Structure 1
Amino acid sequence: MDGCLPDSDTDAATIQEVSEAVLALWLPTDSATVLRKMNEVQAIAARLPNVDLVLSQTKQDIARAQRLQVEAEKARSRAHAVEGQVEDVVGNLRQGTVALQEAQDTMQGTSRSLRLLQERVAEVQQVLGPAEGLVAGMSLQLGDLRARMEELSRRARLQQEQVARAQQLTEGAKQRALSAQEGFERIKQKYAELKDQLGRSPMLGAQGSRILSVKTEAEELFGETMEMMDRMKGEGAELGLGLLGTPGGFDRTSPTLSHGFGTWEAINDREKEKQRRRVRGVGTGGKVRF
């Protein structure tokens, strides 16, 4: 009793049990002893706490304990949920660690590739350094070439214009050459007529005068032909084509003109000699031989 009654935490059941044990004890019959014991019991009872207050506090403690138990259950449920989440987080962390390791390996490989690429870029830059100089030089050369091409194009246009003019002049020269050749053919025909008439008429009379007139006309026509050939020579020299550039006023390599030129020279020499003889014969009143 001395041990449990002074304790403030002793509950009512314990006090009841102790009280019953005390009542079951054998008490001495001596009044003085009984009185003393009663005084002790009263003193102890006076020191006991208020039972109602203890019960009220006990109810509050029980309610608080129940609340704490409910909160503990909730905390345990949350702990179980958090434990599952922690397992998920641990799994995610494990996967993240693996992915991080793979990323680190990839970054190391990428770093090696980047280093090799930088080395290749440095090599390419070493090669491209002189190449850039060559490209710059080629650009300058292309600029010069473009200017030259433009100049050549301009000259080509001028040459085309000159060729067009030359073709026009050539066509005109061809036409004049044909006219000259036709004139020369007429000269040959007139000379043949003159020669035939001179062979049939040894006397110089009216017919002889006509023959001389025909010969003079032939000489004038041939002179015009030679002037035309000389103009053709000048045009050929202007064109720079060498068509009529030989001495003598025409191209001696042409078979027709070469033959005509030789024939005319022979006729001219012979006619000059006959003209001198005829003039002498007319002056003396003698016969003239052709």
Structure 2
Amino acid sequence: MDKRSQQKFILTPKIAMLCLTAILPLLGDIQAQSSTNLEIVSHIEKLKDNDKLERLEAVRELRKIGSPAIPALTAALQDEENRIRGGAAFALGAIGAEAKTAIPQLIAMLKDPDDRVRLDAAVALRRIGSPAVSALAEALQEPNNKQIRINATFALAGIGAEAKPTIPILIKMLKDNDEEIRLNAAIALRGIGSPAIPDLTKALQDKNEQVRRGAAIALGKISSPDTHPSSKALPSENQPISNPTNVAVCVPPPPRHPVSTTPTQSRINPSAIRLTPTPTPSPTVRPTVRPTPVKPTPNPCTPRPNSGITAPSRNQ
């Protein structure tokens, strides 16, 4: 055997070993993918089971798999059982932006007859984030469906600054005839934050009182940090706000679900305010009652320290 043949003989096993080293991880990936696919197929079969508990368990397992399970979870959004539809929506939201292919189905679920399913769909759209903004903008303009509009505002509030393209629509919604629509639009603008300030500043000068008040509610959350919530009162009915950076309207923390106004939620009931003695030395300071916010402001203010006022809770 000549020298050249000897070199080839020595190198051949080394080359084979290198090739094998490169191929083995690929084989592992193929095997893992094959195993995942088999698992998904198994859970898809469970989704066809008549037992709703089996179907619910399948949704939970598909959620653990993640993005490869998106098509199966999207199909589960059509299930007749509320918990399964809601669970599938929740699972898609947990996957995040990769689940953007399910956005049309989730938008349709914002008008689901079950309120929990609607909430799960809205939360899922919040988690998917910016890919859902354009579809949510269209949902805001549904002419005859109040529920889908409210849930769309809730989703946008959670997306935050990336929902900036919807600001003009939300500003327009501040003059809607429906109080819940107005309030949820203001909360969405508050959630979007600083990108909404220029439009909200203009809205403070709007001739429509409801628009001015909605803008004030939104700016109350995103005003300058040195402004104390109790330092400024709401403007009078016909008085526009000239300096929005110094305005702070007392508002509760952002809600975990769309806001629904009722008589007890939409304004403070004076009879519900309880006066307590102020524990200060003489001369005794008389406790004072904060004026009832002008209708329909739905946000009771937190009392100032030592004011002697116990404000009613949100659940009252």
TM-score after normalising by structure 1: 0.27
Q: Which protein shows a greater Rg?
A: 1
Larger helix proportion of the pair? 1
Calculate the TM-score normalised by the size of structure 2: 0.25
Q: Which has the higher contact order (CA 8 A, sep 6+)?
A: 1
